[in-house]
Amino acid sequence: MVTEAEHVLGIPAQVFTCVLSYTFLLIVAAAVFVVWYIRDSLKVDDIDKKHVFVTGCDSGFGNLVAKQLDRQGFHVIAACLTESGSTDLRTAASPRLKTVLLNVTDSASIERAVEMVRRETGERGLYGLINNAGRSIPIGPTEWMQPEDFRKVMDVNLMGLIEVTLKFLPLLKKAKGRVVNVASILGRLALVGGGYCLSKWGVECFSDSLRRDMRHFGIKVSIIEPGFFKTAVTRLDLIEADLQRLWDRLPSDIRNSYGPKYLEEYNKAQSFSMNILCSSDISKVTSCMQHALTAKHPRTRYGAGWDAKLFWIPLSYLPAFIGDFVVDVLLPTPKQC
């Protein structure tokens, strides 16, 4: 029997049905995207009445986002590790921005910062907490590490972040505020040894559990997952100097297993990769932080940088042997392998 579609258009019924089905799916997908885009674009009100506390503001992401939030009208309290970093930031910002010295590995220092923020925020409480402070070194082959090398990084990137967050939670609950934790694409893919990847995986886990627990109190938690950017964390001179320290203290049998040229080859490969991957536009990261604070409906995760979005995050969902292949391409092979 010839259907009306076949009679009028000369199209077989099955083909016509498929076209209708795909057209319907495209319309639904477009509608979902439009709704998501509108929802994602909605902004919070009364920015000029909200306080935000940012850690790691001496340089890099923290320094830039503190100045950007200050220009937007937030009451920014920027935590710096050094007095010079604090002075420079105050000079570059409006009188509204306040600074405080903070060492996230020192409980007494955290307590002093909490007390200062409590005085500044009063009954309003703290609207936003950006946990940005971090370090990368020691980083390198796992066998070159000692337990204290892991602790140096974990104490700042994970344990410091956890303690800061826990101490500020009462103020955040007052304001039904936001927590923005800076993780990394290395919180998805363990490409190198040392405490950095471990700490960022921990940040991912802590943030997820915190988000689920705190949503009952109106607190929203977001994770920033930057790719490779030119900051103090990726400074090759510092990383290479520390790798030399690790290499020099290795027992001779371990050094021999890697070969006399391994460190040189490792540094060359690392330098080549960093020069290709590292972006100098750190605003790609700070714009994610800003959205997490100003959007009515902040995202759970923000991939920042072309390499994060197009390469590392997709790679993290693929079978492990593919990630292993990528590491084998990027880094040299020890002599005895």
Structure tokens at 11: 């199209």
Q: Read off the pLDDT of each residue in 190-208 and give the average, rounded to a whole number.
A: 96
Q: In this structure, are 262 and 194 located in the same domain?
A: yes
pLDDT attached to residue 79? 98
Q: In this structure, are 124 and 95 located in the same domain?
A: yes
Structure tokens at 221: 């938690």
The phi and psi torsions of 297 (rounded to 5 degrees) equal: -125, 80
pLDDT attached to residue 2? 47
pLDDT attached to residue 240? 95
By the 8 A CB rule, do 135 and 157 touch? yes
Separation of alpha carbons 148 and 171, rounded Å: 33
Residue 337: inside a domain: no
Q: In this structure, are 263 and 133 located in the same domain?
A: yes
pLDDT digits (tens, 9 = 90+) for 282-334: 999 999 999 999 999 999 999 999 999 999 999 999 999 999 999 899 899 99
Between vectors from CA 261 to CA 260 and to CA 264, what angle results, nearest 5°? 130
Residue 335: inside a domain: no
Q: In this structure, are 21 and 153 located in the same domain?
A: no
Q: In this structure, are 168 and 28 located in the same domain?
A: no
Strand ranges (E), the chain: 51-54, 75-80, 98-101, 128-131, 139-140, 178-182, 193-194, 220-226, 301-304
Catalytic residue ranges: 196
Q: 81: which DSSP letter?
A: S
pLDDT attached to residue 3? 52
pLDDT of 42 > 60? The answer is yes
- Domain range for 28 is 4-37
Which residues contact residue 125 at a Cβ distance below 8 angstroms, ignoring those fewer than 6 apart?
51, 171, 172, 173, 174, 175, 177
Name the residue with higher pLDDT: 155 or 335: 155
> Of 335, 218, 281, which Cα lies nearest the Cα of 61?
281
Q: In this structure, are 22 and 75 located in the same domain?
A: no
Q: In this structure, are 26 and 72 located in the same domain?
A: no
Residue 229: inside a domain: yes
Q: In this structure, are 25 and 83 located in the same domain?
A: no
Q: How confident is the model at residue 23 (pLDDT cuts 50, 70, 90)?
A: confident
pLDDT attached to residue 237? 93
Q: In this structure, are 143 and 21 located in the same domain?
A: no
Separation of alpha carbons 207 and 256, rounded Å: 41
pLDDT attached to residue 12? 67
Q: Read off the pLDDT of each residue in 36-44 and give the average, rounded to a whole number.
A: 89
Q: 334: which DSSP letter?
A: P
pLDDT of 10 > 70? The answer is no
Q: The domain that contains 169 carries what CATH number?
A: 3.40.50.720
Separation of alpha carbons 82 and 105, rounded Å: 14
Question: 318 in helix, strand or coil?
Answer: coil
Q: In this structure, are 9 and 149 located in the same domain?
A: no
Residue 336: inside a domain: no
Which residues contact residue 291 at a Cβ distance below 8 angstroms, ignoring those fewer than 6 apart?
298, 299, 302
Separation of alpha carbons 78 and 72, rounded Å: 15
By the 8 A CB rule, do 326 and 315 touch? yes
Q: How confident is the model at residue 30 (pLDDT cuts 50, 70, 90)?
A: confident
pLDDT digits (tens, 9 = 90+) for 264-275: 999 999 998 888
pLDDT of 234 > 80? The answer is yes
CB atoms under 10 Å from CB of 41, counted, come to 11
> Of 59, 106, 98, which Cα lies nearest the Cα of 77?
98
Q: In this structure, are 267 and 309 located in the same domain?
A: yes
Q: How many domains does the chain have?
A: 2
Q: In this structure, are 255 and 188 located in the same domain?
A: yes
Residue 236: inside a domain: yes
Which residues contact residue 10 at a Cβ distance below 8 angstroms, ignoring those fewer than 6 apart?
none
pLDDT of 137 > 60? The answer is yes
Q: How confident is the model at residue 162 (pLDDT cuts 50, 70, 90)?
A: very high
pLDDT of 209 > 80? The answer is yes
Between vectors from CA 144 to CA 162 and to CA 204, what angle results, nearest 5°? 25
Give the amino acid at 128: G
Sign, CA torsion 204/208/213/219: positive
Residue 246: inside a domain: yes
> Of 55, 63, 61, 113, which Cα lies nearest the Cα of 85?
63
Query: Which single residue is written with the structure tokens 């203290």?
Result: 249
- Of the chain, the percentage scoring pLDDT greater than 70 comes to 95
Residue 263: inside a domain: yes
By the 8 A CB rule, do 296 and 44 touch? yes
